[in-house]
Amino acid sequence: MITVRIKPEIEQTLEALASEEGISKSALIRECLEEFIGRKEDEKSPWELGKKIFGMYGSGRGNLSTDRKNICQTERSLTPGHWWCFLIRMINIIIILLIL
């Protein structure tokens, strides 16, 4: 058993909806909670949504976390032509993520 305090205007709406449906306020609240919980259980986390593509376009380098400063420094010193290729790669990855 649970007790919930609600605003008077919400209680009036609840009474009206329960009356329209021909059920008690408790039954209406139970239905709403069941539907809400069901929707929450069906929601997928960001990991679940993207797990098909995570790692698909890996760099092949296993040192990205340990050598990140050196890698960033190297990538900052890329020539304009290299930056263009890098930018196109990033745009492709973003498009793939948006499609999902």
Q: For residue range 42-74, list pLDDT tens digits in order.
A: 788 887 877 777 766 666 777 766 777 777 666
Looking at the chain, the whole-number percentage of residues with pLDDT higher than 70 is 76
- Name the nearest CA neighbour of 93 among 48, 50, 42: 50
Average pLDDT, the chain: 80
pLDDT given for residue 82 in this prediction: 66
Which residue stretches of 1-45 are H helix?
A: 8-21, 25-42
More confident site: 97 or 55: 97
- Name the nearest CA neighbour of 54 among 92, 95, 97: 97
What lies within 8 Å, CB to CB, of 75 at 6+ separation is: 86
